[in-house]
Amino acid sequence: MKLLSEMSWEETKEYLAQEDRIILPLGATEQHGPHLGLGTDTFEADAIARAVGEKTGVVVAPTLCFGMSHHHLGFPGTISLKPATLIAVYEDVFRALYRHGFRRVLIVNGHGGNEAAIQSALHQVAADLEHLRAKIFQWWSDAEAYRVVSEMLGAQEGSHASPGETSLMLAINANAVKLPRLKGRDANVIPSRDILNMHLFPHKYPDGIMGLNPSNATAKVGQALLDKSVEICARELESF
């Protein structure tokens, strides 16, 4: 597997003489219920990106461990960049990659709160970086990937710290999963026009879980979701 963090600048130059694709994993450090570690979204983006890199030979950039998690700041341990900061960070990353010759970026995003900043940054650099192309993969919003969860666990509402995400973490890093801490309650996602912020979120979801009680999560489901995610990303890189 080619990890940018393990390659020298000379190796990177040699790679760029042959190839202009890169995998960019974007994570977050934020609460994920009483039972999942704060690095959950970072572990997920990192694991999918590395497995895709292993399968395709495309270089993998270091995983960014901070994202836009202001709506989770009511919970201890969450570290968040404000939207304007995160857009500036992403812009700088895209500009640096482009400067060296990367032209096609597959973004593996681990956290929904990053999506608006990713889109904004790409729009803001588009005028200058004319030949930059980007694709984005998000396991929870990709219908083909999420079907694995609904087929194996039945209809399961929500995504944040819910059965699908807990399963994925059981497959990726079981050290960050503490199932005995679950209280056995469902936190059904109720459709609402409210935009959740750091004040509303803990009020609506007091333990941080959005969705059904994840006690039925299994590593088997998580592995199937990981495998499907890798398959989809590898296909997207081939057709890039």
Convert residues 34-63 into a mask of x (bound to Ni ion by CB under 5 A) and - (unbound): ------xx----------------------
| CB distance 183 to 154 below 8 Å | no
Closer residue to Ni ion (CB): 27 or 53: 27
Query: Cβ 167 to Ni ion, closest distance in Å?
Result: 12
Using CB under 5 A as the binding rule, whether residue 30 contacts Ni ion is answered as no
Cα 51 from Cα 30, distance rounded (Å): 23
User: Least CB distance from residue 70 to Ni ion, whole Å?
Assistant: 15
**Smallest gap from residue 10 Cβ to Ni ion (A):** 37
Residue 163 exposed, middle or buried by CB count within 10 Å (0-12, 13-18, 19+): buried
CB of residue 133 to Ni ion, shortest distance in Å: 26
Strands 133-137 and 104-109: parallel
For residue 230 the two structure tokens come to: 């890798």
Sequence-separated (6 or more) residues with CB below 8 Å from residue 40: 30, 32, 110, 161, 165, 169, 176
Residue 31 beta carbon to Ni ion: minimum distance, rounded to whole angstroms: 10
Provide the pairing of β-strand 59-60 with 104-109: unpaired
Whichever of 103 and 160 has its CB closer to Ni ion, that residue is 160
Instruction: Give burial (CB, 10 Å; 0-12/13-18/19+) of 33.
Output: buried
Of 118 and 237, the one with the shorter C-beta distance to Ni ion is 118
Residue with Cβ nearer Ni ion (58 or 224): 224
Distance in Å, CB of 119 to Ni ion, minimum: 19
Range 158-217, binding Ni ion (CB under 5 A): none
Cα–Cα distance, 236 to 240 (Å, whole number): 6
CB closer to Ni ion out of 20 and 41: 41
Residue nearest to Ni ion (CB): 41
- Closer CB to Ni ion, residue 53 or residue 211? 211
Pull the structure tokens for residue 17.
């003489």
Give the residue with the Cβ less far from Ni ion, 21 or 72.
Answer: 72
CA distance 150 to 212: 13
Which stretch, 33-41, 150-158, 166-174, 196-204, contacts Ni ion (CB under 5 A)? 33-41
Q: At closest approach, how far in Å is the CB of 160 from Ni ion?
A: 6
Return the amino acid letter for 188: N
How many residues lie near Ni ion (CB under 5 A)?
Answer: 2
Residues interacting with Ni ion, by CB under 5 A?
40-41
